[in-house]
């Protein structure tokens, strides 16, 4: 068997090194990605959640602290405006009202006696002038007593809870025999006949969102159908939820499921902003991204050069390039 010469062996090793080096370089080259900046349409979709509430909702309170004598409704009952829902004893209020009524009747009786006395003997009451003066005093006393009695009747009406509108009792917090409270609600009423869809928009997205923005709605209870609508109103006052400010927005749907119920939830996609023909750059090609700027590697004759660009709309997938790049520029991205 003929052995390979030393020179031939060295030559083969060199060839292997060169081939391996070219392989490594080609592998390194494959780790780079080149993106040509182009113009395209761009949308910002704000993804949030929605929830269904009643059109009208109210907590109902007793206005006096007394023993609850009757609770006339249970959760789920439909009631009409003016219906009495619960009562308290109101014993002290009734006693006060009786005293006020007695005082009013006494004031009227005293005036009647004085008038009768004047009719019998004018001189006995001090003459006409004195009669007129005393009569004004009696009338003032009657007026004051009548006002106190009217107020006592109003106070008695505070011993009952009355439905403020047509609706459904959604919560009952008191039972017969409890001591009523003026600071804790006794029950909750809702108008569930007209459900309303709301969503909370975070402070990050609210600057892009406005009334009349179109929305897509997918209810958890009806996942196979997409409903449409628009942002009807946005509450200017934020609510803080787990340290983040959210703005409550009402959504008007073009149509709603027939079996939609209060308490149901939905996924909401808001078309917050749309721009046509902007310079577009995928977000992953950028470094050190802020609200207004980012860094990219621009490909050139002398290799890549790091360049700062100014950005506009950011839809969390890509950005609108305001300045720093031109259409047709090539951005380099090293996947390593």
Digit-coded pLDDT (tens) for 268-296: 999 998 899 999 999 999 998 888 899 99
Tell whether 198 and 268 lie within a shared domain.
yes
Residues 6 or more apart whose Cβ sits within 8 Å of residue 172? 71, 73, 74, 75, 186, 187
Q: Tell me what pLDDT residue 30 has.
A: 53
Strands 68-71 and 303-314: unpaired
Average pLDDT over residues 316-335: 89
Rounded to 5 degrees, φ, ψ at 80 are -110, 155
- Residue 294 domain flag: no
pTM for the full predicted model: 0.56
Is the model more confident about 25 or about 137?
Answer: 137
Is 321 a residue whose pLDDT tops 80?
yes
Tell whether 164 and 77 lie within a shared domain.
yes
Number of domains in the chain: 3
Give the rounded percent of residues in the chain with a pLDDT score beyond 90.
45
Full domain range(s) for residue 175: 57-87+160-191
Average pLDDT over residues 39-68: 90
Residues 6 or more apart whose Cβ sits within 8 Å of residue 276? 41, 42
Average pLDDT over residues 195-208: 91
Tell whether 269 and 208 lie within a shared domain.
yes
- Among the candidates 191, 207, 241, a domain finishes at 191
Is the model more confident about 154 or about 162?
Answer: 162
Tell whether 177 and 65 lie within a shared domain.
yes
Average pLDDT over residues 74-90: 88
Is the model more confident about 3 or about 236?
Answer: 236
- Among the candidates 274, 301, 324, a domain finishes at 274
Is 312 a residue whose pLDDT tops 70?
yes
Sheet holding 78-79, edge to edge: 57-60, 187-190, 167-172, 78-79
55 — pLDDT class (breaks 50, 70, 90): confident
Residues in the chain, overall count: 336
1 — pLDDT class (breaks 50, 70, 90): very low
Give the tens place of pLDDT for each residue, 97-126.
778 888 989 989 988 888 888 888 777 777
Tell whether 165 and 152 lie within a shared domain.
no
Q: Do residues 300 and 34 lie in contact, with contact meaning Cβ atoms separated by under 8 Å?
A: no
Is 10 a residue whose pLDDT tops 50?
yes
- Residue 5 domain flag: no
Tell whether 208 and 239 lie within a shared domain.
yes
Tell whether 170 and 79 lie within a shared domain.
yes
- Residue 32 domain flag: no
* Average confidence score pLDDT of the chain: 86
Q: What is the DSSP string of 66-131?
A: -BEEEE---TT-EE-TT-EEEEE--HHHHHHHHHHHHHHHHHHHHHHHHHHHHHH-GGGGTHHHHH
- Among the candidates 274, 294, 309, a domain finishes at 274
Which of 48, 43, 50 lies closest to 269, judged by CA? 48
Is 75 a residue whose pLDDT tops 50?
yes
Q: Tell me what pLDDT residue 82 has.
A: 85
Is 267 a residue whose pLDDT tops 90?
yes
């Amino acid at each position: 068997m003929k052995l390979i010469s030393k020179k031939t062996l060295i030559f083969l090793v060199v060839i292997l090194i060169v081939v391996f080096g070219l392989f490594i370089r080609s592998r390194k080259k494959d780790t780079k990605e080149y993106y040509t900046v182009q113009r395209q349409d761009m949308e910002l979709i704000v993804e949030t959640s929605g929830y269904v509430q009643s059109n009208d909702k109210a907590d109902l309170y007793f206005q006096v602290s007394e023993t609850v004598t009757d609770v006339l409704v249970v959760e789920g009952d439909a009631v009409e405006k003016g219906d009495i829902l619960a009562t308290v004893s109101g014993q002290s209020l009734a006693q006060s009202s009786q005293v006020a009524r007695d005082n009013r009747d006494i004031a009227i009786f005293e005036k009647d006696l004085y008038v009768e006395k004047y009719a019998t003997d004018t001189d006995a009451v001090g003459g006409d002038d004195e009669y007129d003066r005393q009569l004004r005093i009696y009338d003032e006393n009657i007026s004051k007593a009548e006002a106190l009695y009217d107020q006592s009747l109003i106070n008695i009406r505070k011993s009952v809870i009355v439905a403020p509108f047509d609706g459904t009792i959604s919560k009952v917090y008191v039972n017969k025999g409890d001591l009523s409270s003026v600071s804790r609600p006794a029950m909750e009423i809702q108008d569930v006949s007209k459900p309303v869809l709301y969503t909370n928009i975070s402070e990050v997205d609210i600057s892009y969102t406005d009334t009349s923005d179109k929305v897509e709605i997918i209810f958890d209870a009806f996942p196979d159908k997409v409903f449409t609508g628009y942002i009807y109103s946005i509450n200017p006052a934020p609510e803080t939820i787990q340290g983040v400010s959210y703005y409550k927005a009402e959504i008007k749907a073009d149509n709603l499921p027939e079996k939609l119920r209060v308490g149901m939830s939905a996924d909401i996609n808001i078309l917050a902003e749309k721009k046509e023909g902007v310079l577009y750059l995928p977000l992953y090609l950028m470094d050190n991204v802020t609200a207004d700027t980012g860094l990219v590697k621009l490909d050139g004759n002398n290799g890549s050069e790091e360049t700062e660009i100014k950005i506009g709309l950011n839809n969390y997938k890509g950005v609108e390039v305001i300045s720093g790049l031109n259409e047709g520029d090539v951005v380099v991205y090293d996947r390593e």
